[in-house]
A and B are shown apart, each in its own frame.
Chain A
């Protein structure tokens, strides 16, 4: 009986390890300062730098830059071009993570996820 359980668990583990190793849709999750040396599909989390230009439904797409949210490499910026549905909370100054393809200079994003502001700031008078 124990053998059956052990084999079943081992089989399940093997399946998902193999999947994540070879077939899985695993995506590197990086900061803008970590992009050097990477290409292809990845996700980048960062701070949106203005100005935000363009139209996400037009050929030129929505254009902005990302930098690290914190840490010593806030000066590193990466341009992003996005096509698709712009999230409601997206704007300059927000923390976002984008998923897309990086060609060594620009991230061609297919999705943007915006984090809501979580810190209180006094209401404007």
Chain B
């Protein structure tokens, strides 16, 4: 079977190489048959990649430890679902997943847009083929999942931390996000190579960009939820380089999704958008380089190998290719439209972009700081959470405010008087919120106070926008308020879906501010029968219990919990000891108070021989808004992603391509 897997990968490598070279030649010489065969080769590479993936999955299913990769990441006792998620538990499997998602998503994007971008597509396929060829090269020559060995009696098992339901979906979503950003990059490069700079490449890739961006966003949130429940330190985001590696392309893609609206509406920011797309793609590759190179200390523990150097070379190649393309097309890309006023919708988008890009660069600076300081001073210096938290406030708070102001200002220009009228109610809501919070004692954290005040402003602005639009549609003859509201959203999915995403961001901001600025932590040594108190909660330690499972033992502290004297039942917090992996994992207990969106978070930190336990207990106010924000974010993204037949018809009728600039 290993031979079949290897053969499938070699074939896939040949096919994507042909798609890159043959497709490029076909596009340059305008030979239709060559272009078509390159596209078909790319489709076939997806099928070939799938064959390799099925071979590997089957090896996991049959626990065939003659596959070194299967032996390294599974064991006989590994339970059913994790047997398959072990597929991406290591480097070679991750690369294979990356290749399959890339060729699958790329094939779908090419197939679905073949009529919309007939001039761009011949150049898009070679770019997709080139990126896929890089991953296939690694799979064939550097990190094959099909290396063999004499089968050991049992495998090494899967890292216990990865034996968690969130880990079944978090990595594939991140890959979908990273890989998905290849699609807008390939189409943008195709547009630049073909000389077609009109809105069609943007329309062709907008949904793919939103899909990638949504997957990356949900993937980051699921990773945070996993860290919160599984890692057991009481937090959800540690500003670790690997976490930042996912955040940076998401921020860059967020900037692009906003600035692209200015290009569509005003035909401005074309150079900026091309740069953002290339930047987001480079950052997605940079993340993999960071994790695999081992150059930067991270709490994440990916297998380190010389593969990092390959990624660095690939980033350099992509960056040079993108820069050369943009410089080459600079004269045609320059916009003839100027910004008319600094108080306009397009200016608001520009400010939003500057803040998002500045924050992205700040995070990048922080991540790369150890490397830079080592190169310059000969001593690696790291920046910790205080650095990132400082800049989150510096850039995040104005962004929150801008999220409220942006939708209220008109395109082209807005008078100060008109602006004053539109922001009146949101401003009243913000001031009232601030005053109430100060009266309730929330002024202990200025950042928390500002976050809540700006959040109230942004939320009120969104409500005003929905109310204004619904009222207008009712006045135009909608039979009911509900019809007016649903018709409003259905006819402007991108706009109102975007507002729903803004609500998610506001919830996220409130959740982060609440849990970090107003939380409480206590560590206490308890003997059976003793009670600890924290923020109105009483936890009585009733002793420890041990349960035996198929592949691990569970040790738990049993705790009777009361809140303000009322019983909340029993919590079990402790540790698992995994046999095959010879590892322990923290298993925290969480009691959620949905009314306050607050968690009581209990860590069984250390169990002593005498039956006593060290408990670490945290109260996390509003933390559950972060997870609720994930659902709202998904809802908003789905509204935005939903197909819009009217827009497709408009584009089809406007599909006069016009003259193509000469290709040198």
Q: Which residues of A contact B (CB under 8 A)?
A: 1, 4-5, 8-9, 12-13, 15-16, 19-20, 23-30, 34, 43, 45, 55-57, 85-86, 88-89, 97, 99, 113, 115-123, 125
Question: Using Cβ atoms and an 8 Å threshold, which residues of chain A touch B232?
Answer: 88
User: When the two chains form their complex, are residues B152 and A24 in contact, meaning their CB atoms are under 8 A apart?
Assistant: no
One of A23, A29, A89 near B584 (C-beta < 8 A) = A89
A5-B350, A25-B383 known; 14 new pairs, CB 8 Å cut-off, are A4-B342, A9-B354, A13-B361, A16-B365, A20-B383, A20-B387, A24-B383, A29-B381, A30-B379, A57-B605, A85-B606, A118-B301, A120-B68, A125-B153
Contact B301 A20, beta carbon cutoff 8 Å = no
Do A15 and B394 form a contact, CB below 8 Å, given A26-B383, A120-B71? yes
Contact A88 B584 (CB under 8 A): yes
Cβ-defined contact, B358 with A26, below 8 A: no
Chain B positions within 8 Å of A125 at CB level: 153
A5 touches B386 (CB 8 A): no
Give B contacts to A, CB under 8 Å: 68, 71-72, 75, 152-156, 159, 161, 232-233, 297, 299, 301-304, 338-339, 342, 350, 354, 357-358, 361-362, 365, 369-370, 373, 379-387, 390-391, 394-395, 523, 525, 575, 580, 583-586, 603, 605-606, 614, 616
Do residues B585 and A88 form an inter-chain contact, with CB atoms below 8 A? Answer: yes
Residues of B within 8 A of A116 (CB): 159, 161, 301, 583
Q: Is the CB of B382 within 8 A of A27?
A: yes
- Taken together as a complex, chains A and B put the C-alpha atoms of A72 and B338 apart, in Å, by 61
Interface of B is mostly: mixed
CA A39 to CA B585, docked complex, whole Å: 34
The 6 closest A-B pairs by CB, nearest first: A116-B301, A12-B358, A120-B72, A25-B386, A29-B380, A88-B584
Asked if A122 contacts B382 (CB within 8 A), the reply is: no
Which of B153, B365, B384 has the most C-beta atoms of chain A within 10 angstroms of its own C-beta?
Answer: B384
Judge whether B338 and A88 touch: CB under 8 Å.
no
A122 touching B152, Cβ below 8 Å: yes
Are A29 and B370 neighbours in the complex by a CB distance under 8 Å? Answer: yes
Q: Are B159 and A57 within 8 A (Cβ)?
A: no
Q: How far is the CA of A119 from the CA of B91 in the complex (A)?
A: 11
Write out the residue numbers on chain A whose beta carbons fall within 8 Å of the beta carbon of B153: 123, 125
Task: Let me know if B354 and A85 touch, CB within 8 A.
Answer: no
- Quick check: B362 and A12 within 8 Å, CB to CB? yes
Q: Once the chains are docked, how many angstroms separate the CA of A102 from the CA of B369?
A: 22
B384 in contact with A88 (CB, 8 Å): no
- The CA of A107 and the CA of B179, in the complex, are separated in Å by 42
CA distance A117 to B614 in the complex (A): 27
By a CB distance below 8 angstroms, the chain A residues around B156 are: 120-123
The chain B residue with its CB closest to the CB of A117 is B301
Contact B303 A119 (CB under 8 A): yes
Tell me, in angstroms, the Cα distance from A56 to B583 when the chains sit together. Answer: 19
